[in-house]
Structure 1
Amino acid sequence: MHHSNAVNRLNRLPIARFHKITLLAVSFAYFFEFADINTFATTAPQLVDLWGITVDQVAYVTSLSFVGMFIGSVVASTIADRWGRKNALIYTTLCFGVFSLASAFSWDIVSMGVFRVLTSAGLAAMTVVAVIYVNEVYPAAVRGKYQAYAIVIGICGTPATNLIASAVVPLTDWSWRLVYLWGSLGLLFVFFTRHLKESPRWHESRGEYGAADAILTEIEAQVALEKGPLPEAPPPVDEARPAKASPRLLLKKKYLGPTVLLAVVWVTQTIGFFGYSSWAPTLLAKEGFSVEKSVFYVALTTVGAPLGSLLAALVTDRFERKWCLVAFGTVIALCGLLYGLTFNPILIVVFGFLVNFFERGYTALGYAYSPELFDTQSRSLGTGVSYGLGRLSNAAGPLIIAGLYHRTGYQSVFLFIAATWILGAVALAIFGPRTRPARTAAAERPRAVV
């Protein structure tokens, strides 16, 4: 067999039980990724009181966590290419679950910092692998929608964590540890592993056409049994087997443009969103709100997150993703600025709700948009490096925010955050390539940014 025709055979499948089980598994991993990603932010105000740590120390832990995310993102692209998308998804999910559990037993800010860096590496690695996995398993015409559906379910982990934290953190001097125990429940992902299939496109990219065909045949049999006879797949396009991807590949003209653009997108998204979500509880507490109220207000705002992902699911395959991202980024900048200009509790919740609503929609759109700018050979590497650079940028973000807060006050933080969102929107508007909602096999080739 010289070609397993994975792209065309997957693209002509109707959505069936196989896709729904995969959606449930990926959503579960996303749920505890989003549940875990802000655990330190929700417990930091209490640790400031209990351990006597400073805003600067909170900034250092947050900053180093994003260094961990960069490392995790880059490592993810390597293990996803070497061990397969399925295995990489399993290992990275277990990784962040184990280190979140370890965080529950932290004894000082140094041990907490170490465990959070390792947890963050696992979180970012899992995200990169999950984005690639969904992109390669679902039909092209609906992959954006199902990427967003996974985040609709997964993002519920954020308000769940914040509401749990608002209830348990104030109870006793040790109850903050329960927040990290909650985040570690991602370890239960092991119960989904036997239901997942390896990406046939990964096997095909390695020249393992027999393995790819075996998985495709199994998937097709399951879908046909449920949905009836399947239409014939278009014939494959004969292509040379791609060479092993190396970091130098991204320096080629056709890959460099998308990589730089997506790095800008993820840098501005990371600083813009995590600058808000990681700091909101602590800064509100510093501005006179009690720990209980600051955590509770932020918990209420995150209720908007799953609704924003649902909005993304409705628009992602109907409208050009590039322009959806531009519109969402602009609205986030405005709402985030208004959030920082008020101390009225109701308006804090309203504008914070809108920030979470549109930002999680933006993230869902970005997860669908990013891998579409690369072909199979470069997808894992390009997605991992660009996403990782975004996370690495926030090693400086918390330090910038802490410096702004000390020198020019609370509101300057939100002026800075709004500016980062506008920068990302402008970059997309000018340089972002279009990606059609329904893409053919021919569209799998990378597009140069013009």
Structure 2
Amino acid sequence: MAMMEGASQLRAADHPALAGTASAVDTGAISARLDRLPATRAVWKLIVLLSLGFFFELYDLLFTGYVAPGLVKSGILTSTTSGLFGTSGVASFIAALFCGLFLGTVACGFLADRFGRRAIFTWSLLWYVAANTVMAFQDTASGLNFWRFVSGMGIGVELVTIGTYMSELAPKHLRGRAFAICQTLGFSAVPVVAFLSYLLVPNAPFGVDGWRWVVLLGGISALFIWYFRRNLPESPRWLASKGRIREADEVLSRLEEKVASEYGQPLPEPGPSDPVPRKAGFADMWKPPYRKRTVMLIIFHILQTVGFYGFANWVPTLLVKQGITVTSSLLYTTVIGLAAPLGPLLGYWIADRFERKHVIVCMAALNIVSGLLFSQVASAVAIVTLGVLLTLAGNIISFTYHTYQQELYPTAIRARAVGFVYSWSRLSAVFSSFVIAFTLKEFGVTGVFVFIAGAMTLVIVAIGLMGPRTLGKSLESISH
């Protein structure tokens, strides 16, 4: 015992900024030390760097709907399909993306659990940038769809990795707000891609189709994140879960020293270490307490994607179908897109005050009402107002569930488990894009929003009845 106390005193002497902290460096202690960190510039810097990666990820993910009118105009795709699963329409382009996202999340989610959050964050970004660059030079529907599928795989891996990375680096008292800021910066890509599409898609600068410029600009800009990623540390929680306790301690000690120097006073004492779940495998997703959470999230993801992407990817096409010109449609969606980052920014004020599940339920209800009204209006003011409400509701749901699903599984399988449940939204989007195209053709815009309303009603039921509470709890305590 005396030797242990001496070691503790030696450690405090070696790291003055850590005076008063526990010397234990097991996994539970690593988590407790992370969770007590105050929200200083060093902590927010990590969150912002991850958020910048998310910006370019969403740019690449969401340009689909904005470039669709340009793809139709260029003659590569058609706005509707001749059959339910036709491969020459906009629906096939959307489906190709989500097929790639599905494979990337369901089959490759384990990569971040095996090789680390930092490495996969970097390489998956380079993967989808390269694939989208090749896609920008395609002239056939088959070539376009194939490379969109390939880029979707990289985006799928990146989506899971960033969420996992963020949940493990952010202290528990900051987790909801960290995701809110991440989504605010990420969804700033929506007005950017909408405005670039408004300027470029109807035109052909230097003789090159405008949609190609929109795709290329995102890829070139994203390479800057590859450069800045050198400032991101590996997740101490992940290192500890792999038994690399010394490395986890070193990474966390460096972060603690930066935080302490900015904080200007001794860091708070770590709280008691929550019991760490035993080493988990994929099969544990189907055992209590995770089985109910897994079923809930599968149901949720199958349905939520209908509401989110049913509007985000189709709004320019829906407006054109209502008789609005391509240029006016892109102008309206640019204005609507300005609201995209406001959703999570508003959510910043509620993120760590209200239960995640309650926020999702309320925003799903707003989505239903706004969508049904959107299908019945024709004036510019009404279209933009209801479009903004739909965007706000969808994006608040998005940042909330990105926080929520990361909290429901232990560190050892977090990326793999979230990748698995998240992949169902990708699979759903593949089929729902064809269903929406078919519904639009047969039942018009009203039919599309009735379909979306039905899906969001079931979201309310699933989350409301099956979702556990997570607000203010450590990741380890939620995992029990």
Output the TM-score relative to the length of structure 2.
0.88
Q: In the aligned structure 1, how far is the partner of 2:350 from the partner of 2:133?
A: 37
Instruction: Please say if residues 312 and 362 of structure 1, whose CA atoms lie closer than 8 Å, have aligned partners that are also in contact.
Output: no
Q: What does residue 166 of structure 2 align with?
A: 134
Q: In the aligned structure 1, how far is the partner of 2:438 from the partner of 2:157?
A: 29
Q: In the aligned structure 2, how far is the partner of 1:19 from the partner of 1:442?
A: 20
Instruction: Please say if residues 276 and 476 of structure 2, whose CA atoms lie closer than 8 Å, have aligned partners that are also in contact.
Output: no
Q: SS of 1:409's equivalent?
A: helix
State the Cα deviation string for residues 156-187 of structure 1 (Å, max 9, x = none).
10111011101111122622211001221222
Q: SS of 1:395's equivalent?
A: helix
Q: What does residue 357 of structure 2 align with?
A: 322
State the Cα deviation string for residues 74-99 of structure 1 (Å, max 9, x = none).
24421111110111111122222222
Instruction: Please say if residues 271 and 417 of structure 1, whose CA atoms lie closer than 8 Å, have aligned partners that are also in contact.
Output: yes
- Out of 350, 357, 368, the position equivalent to 2:403 is 368
Q: What does residue 36 of structure 1 align with?
A: 60
Q: In the aligned structure 2, how far is the partner of 1:71 from the partner of 1:52?
A: 25
Instruction: Please say if residues 277 and 410 of structure 2, whose CA atoms lie closer than 8 Å, have aligned partners that are also in contact.
Output: no
Q: SS of 2:340's equivalent?
A: helix
Q: Compare 358-367 and 287-296 and name the one that shifted more.
A: 287-296
- 1:124 maps onto 2:148 in alignment: no
Q: SS of 1:318's equivalent?
A: coil
Q: What does residue 393 of structure 1 align with?
A: 428
Unaligned runs of 5+ in 1: none
Q: What does residue 14 of structure 2 align with?
A: none
- 1:152 maps onto 2:188 in alignment: no
Report the CA distance between 1:377 and its aligned residue. 2.5
Distance 1:136 1:52, change over 3 A: closer
State the Cα deviation string for residues 20-47 of structure 1 (Å, max 9, x = none).
2212211111111221212232122122
> Structure 2 matches for 1:243-392, cutoff 5 A?
243=280, 245-246=281-282, 248-392=283-427
Report the CA distance between 1:240 and its aligned residue. 7.1
Q: In the aligned structure 1, how far is the partner of 2:149 from the partner of 2:92?
A: 11
Larger Rg: 2
Q: What does residue 200 of structure 1 align with?
A: 236
- Out of 104, 111, 131, the position equivalent to 1:99 is 131
Q: Percent sequence identity over matched residues? A: 31
Q: In the aligned structure 2, how far is the partner of 1:237 from the partner of 1:50?
A: 58
Q: SS of 1:319's equivalent?
A: coil
State the Cα deviation string for residues 217-252 of structure 1 (Å, max 9, x = none).
111111112213223324545657515x23x23222
Q: SS of 2:39's equivalent?
A: coil
Q: What does residue 26 of structure 2 align with?
A: 3
> Structure 2 matches for 1:55-204, cutoff 5 A?
55-56=80-81, 57-172=89-204, 174-184=209-219, 185-204=221-240
Instruction: Please say if residues 409 and 479 of structure 2, whose CA atoms lie closer than 8 Å, have aligned partners that are also in contact.
Output: yes
Q: What does residue 27 of structure 1 align with?
A: 51
Letter in 2 for 1:400: V
Q: In the aligned structure 2, how far is the partner of 1:210 from the partner of 1:415?
A: 55
- 1:226 maps onto 2:262 in alignment: yes
Report the CA distance between 1:68 and its aligned residue. 0.8
Q: In the aligned structure 2, how far is the partner of 1:53 from the partner of 1:430?
A: 42
Q: In the aligned structure 2, how far is the partner of 1:376 from the partner of 1:334?
A: 38
Unaligned runs of 5+ in 2: 1-23, 82-88
Instruction: Please say if residues 98 and 187 of structure 1, whose CA atoms lie closer than 8 Å, have aligned partners that are also in contact.
Output: no
